[in-house]
Each structure stands twice: as structure tokens, then as C-alpha cells.
Amino acid sequence: MLEQIKDQPILELINQESRRQIDELELIASENYASPAVLAALATPLANKYSEGYSGKRYYGGNHIIDDIENLAIERAKQLFNAEHVNVQPLSGSPANLAAYLAILEPGDTVLGLRLDHGGHLSHGHPINISGRLFKFVQYEVDATTGRLNMDQVRQVAHQAKPKLIVAGFSAYSREIDWAGFKSIADEVGALTMADISHTAGLIAGRQLSNPTNIVDIVTTTTHKTLRGPRGAIIMSTTKLAKAIDRAVFPGLQGGPHDHVTAAKAIAFGEALQPAFQDYARQVIANAQLLAEQLQAKNYDIVSGGTDNHLLVIDLTKQGLAGRQAEEALQKAGLSVSRSTVPGDQRPPLNPSGIRLGTAAITTRGFGSAEIKQTANWLHQALVNHADDNYLADIKQQVTQLGRRLPPPSL
């Protein structure tokens, strides 16, 4: 498809990024590689169509084929997650969360969400985010000693705040979530429940983590990350909330959906329904747990002491490194990570005390135990020699050799 691009400056930049993705390792927990089929769908004439409304109820003509595509995406998502209702139109994760809020809340309503520096997400009520500006979010935390959610503490906060909604979900929390525990607490205080599974949707679809769809009222997720689909999102809900969810997405928040992305979502859901995807999800977790063990053996502190999913957060306080310093050094070594706050972080968010690692993307490339052990060694060497650019360049050469041996499937 690239041969169709005659704009040389942008073509060269695309080629540079493609080479970077081959030659470097993506250890950013929110990133993955979409399949060639998913990428192909994004470059189809479906991008030309405008389809405000829903199947059979569009505000534009010529949408009978688009209706079939959207219906297929919905049916596959229902099957994948055992969901009663699915809206496949949200453009991304934060808009999906906002639409879910707008469906059931009024401005100023009280909501519970996990604190950002304890593993939550901006859209779970941070004051600078629209969620925190529109609604009164009360934040719960992880236990200061264990780094894990303490459901007794969540219950105490809920009974004090009396929220209308409790949000369970995370951006940098490495443990399994007790969905039933959140639902029980919500029932005690008369609140609705929402699960944001954006990070772990692929692991849930792959039957490796518990599924909240038949426990909570609303489930939101992005379709990339561990699910390996296109950039986008979906909202799942009980049938009772279906009309409110759909109205909140359109016309409440969005105009027309991106039909080429809807087709790519349908393809990704179809791929995730295959037995091989369960093997992938299982390997993602095994790789993350091995990576955590390898780093702990090298004297790194892992928040919560390990991981049940695809990500881990390293507290670098003991090493005397800040998150940005570590991120920049690792980038020079060809290892892409994201800086991350740790619970109770005393450093500013732009230069926090930790880094977040994820294994979804490298597992897609075929990484197993040997490659994970090598990656852990490179991470350690790069952090120890963070000020030595020549040493980091040597590591990058080794990383590139491995990257070219196990390239992403779409490159």
C-alpha cells in the first residue's frame, strides 16, 4: 500500500517509523502490533463513508453495507466477551469512558475511581481531565505496604462518599481485579459499577483473566493494547442500559463513526475468537511474570511484588534514578518504556519515580523465556550504565539484531 504514497517527506517518515518498530523493542504496556489484516482494513474505501446513527437508523443514505459491517463487529464482540449489549462506535478509550459517564450521571454526581499515581487513569477522575471537572470523583488507593487494592479500604471510602458510580479499572496496576468485590460494595451503597478493562481486554478475551461483563453494569475497553486491534474502543453494558449508552455515544458525544476502524475491530474480534489467541494471552502473562522475576533477582522493586497480567511497574528509588532519566537511557538502548508514578510518589508526574513495562507487543513478536531473560539483562545493563552513551549504543546494536530476527508480523 505504501507504493501509493507519492508524498516523499511523509513516506520517508513512515519508513523511518517502520524501521524503528523492527529495530527496537516496544515495552510500553499500552502498545501492541495489529495484524496485517487489521492494518489493511484501515486503508480501505470504508474511510470515505459517513454513517451517523446506528444500523437501520442512519441519518445518511447508502449505509446498508456499513450496517452489515457494524452488526458483524457487534456480534463478534458479544461472543468474545459474553456481553448483552455492545456499542462499537467509540473513537478511543477516554471518549468511551466519558460516554459511559454521560449515560448514567449528571454533572456534579459523585464517583469513585482509582488514584492516578496508584495505577488509575486520567479519565478515572483526575482533576485536569474532563472526568474530574464534570463529576465529583473521590479516589481510592492501593495499600501502601502491599501495593495491592484493599477492598476493605475501598468499602470504607464508598460508604463515606455514597457515590452514584464506582469505577474499577487501571492504567498501571499489575494484579487481578476482584470484580465481584466491587459489585458487592456498589450494591451496599446503591451505586452502579463500571469496569475499564482497556489494558487487559485481550487477556480476558483470551480466557486468562476473569471477565466482568456479567458482573458489573458497564464495561469499557480500547481495542488495541492486549486485544491487538485498531486504535478505538467499545462499550459493553446490560440490556437495561443499552439505550442510554447508545444515546450518550451518538448523538451525545460523537458524530459519525469511523467505518474503516469498525471493520478493523470486527477483524480483530474474529482473530481473538480463534484458539491461538488464548495461547497468546497465556504467553503474555508468562512473559510478564518471568520479566518481573528476572528484574527482582537483580534487586529491582516491583510494585505489588509481581504481576498477574501483562504489565509491571518498577520503583527506581533504590537505584537513585528518576523515571524520565531511565526512560531516556533505555530509549538510547533501543528499549521503549514509559515513565510511571508509583503509589505515594513524591516526585512530579512528568518525572516520577518509576517506569512501566509491558509484554504484549514483544509476545506478539514471538518472545519466549530466552528472549525475556535477555531483555531483562539489557534493561539492567542500560539502567546501570545510563550515563554511558557508548555502552547504550552497544546494547542497541544487540537489540536490533534480535528485533530483525523476530520482526513484528505486520512489518
The 10s digit of each residue's pLDDT in 212-247 is: 999 999 999 999 999 999 999 999 999 999 999 999
Per-residue confidence at 119, pLDDT binned at 50, 70, 90? confident
Strand partners of residue 168: 195
pLDDT digits (tens, 9 = 90+) for 58-108: 999 999 999 999 999 999 999 999 999 999 999 999 999 999 999 999 999
Tell me which of 127 and 177 has the higher pLDDT.
177
Residue 106 pLDDT: 97
State how far the alpha carbon of 231 is from the alpha carbons of 238, 276, 330, 399, in Å.
24, 22, 26, 27
Per-residue confidence at 144, pLDDT binned at 50, 70, 90? confident
Torsion angle of the four alpha carbons 221, 112, 284, 381, in this order, in degrees rounded to the nearest 10: 120
**Same domain flag for 264 and 337:** no
Per-residue confidence at 117, pLDDT binned at 50, 70, 90? confident
Q: How far apart are CA 111 and CA 269, in angstroms?
A: 31
Residue 410 pLDDT: 81
pLDDT digits (tens, 9 = 90+) for 238-266: 999 999 999 999 999 999 999 999 999 99
Residue 41 pLDDT: 98
- Report yes or no on 18 lying in a domain: no
Which residues are within 8 A (CB) of 5 and not within 5 positions of it... i.e. 6 or more apart? 11, 14
**Same domain flag for 305 and 361:** yes
Write down the H helix ranges in 105-189: 130-134, 151-161, 179-189
**Same domain flag for 99 and 241:** yes
For the entire predicted model, the pTM comes to 0.96
Answer for the pair 237, 263: CB distance below 8 angstroms, yes or no.
no
- Report yes or no on 373 lying in a domain: yes
Mean pLDDT of 6-23: 96
Q: How far apart are CA 386 and CA 72, in angstroms?
A: 49
| Single residue among 254, 272, 290 that ends a domain in this structure | 272
Per-residue confidence at 2, pLDDT binned at 50, 70, 90? confident
| Single residue among 203, 238, 272 that ends a domain in this structure | 272
- Report yes or no on 336 lying in a domain: yes
**Same domain flag for 211 and 229:** yes
Q: Among 75-89, 294-308, 343-357, which stretch is predicted with the lowest mean pLDDT?
A: 343-357
What is the domain-level CATH number for residue 163?
3.40.640.10
**Same domain flag for 253 and 378:** no
**Same domain flag for 239 and 315:** no
Backbone angles phi, psi at 110, to 5 degrees: -90, 135
- Report yes or no on 352 lying in a domain: yes
**Same domain flag for 261 and 301:** no
State how far the alpha carbon of 375 is from the alpha carbons of 222, 362, 366, in Å.
27, 10, 13
- Report yes or no on 6 lying in a domain: no
**Same domain flag for 310 and 261:** no
Q: How far apart are CA 320 and CA 311, in angstroms?
A: 22
Instruction: Provide the pairing of β-strand 57-58 with 53-54.
Output: antiparallel
- Report yes or no on 12 lying in a domain: no
Per-residue confidence at 349, pLDDT binned at 50, 70, 90? confident
Identify the residue whose cell numbers are 510511571. 340
Domain count, the chain: 2
Q: Among 93-97, 159-163, 247-251, 407-411, which stretch is predicted with the lowest mean pLDDT?
A: 407-411
Average pLDDT over the chain, rounded to whole? 96
Sign of CA dihedral 148, 209, 373, 118: negative
Q: Which domain holds residue 119?
A: 39-272
Active centre residues (catalytic):
50, 52, 196, 222, 225, 231
**Same domain flag for 391 and 307:** yes
Nearest to 182, CA basis, from 201, 207, 146, 158: 158
**Same domain flag for 47 and 187:** yes
Residue 174's identity, in one-letter code, is S
Q: How far apart are CA 43 and CA 17, in angstroms?
A: 18
**Same domain flag for 268 and 288:** no
Answer for the pair 183, 213: CB distance below 8 angstroms, yes or no.
no
Radius of gyration of the chain (CA): 21
Residue 122 pLDDT: 85
| Single residue among 228, 254, 272 that ends a domain in this structure | 272
Residue 161 pLDDT: 97
- Report yes or no on 266 lying in a domain: yes
**Same domain flag for 184 and 72:** yes
* Share of residues in the chain with pLDDT > 90 (%): 92
Residue 386 pLDDT: 97
- Report yes or no on 60 lying in a domain: yes
Cα angle value 250/254/259 (rounded, 5°): 90
What is residue 183's DSSP assignment? H
What is the domain-level CATH number for residue 380?
3.90.1150.10
Residue 31 pLDDT: 97
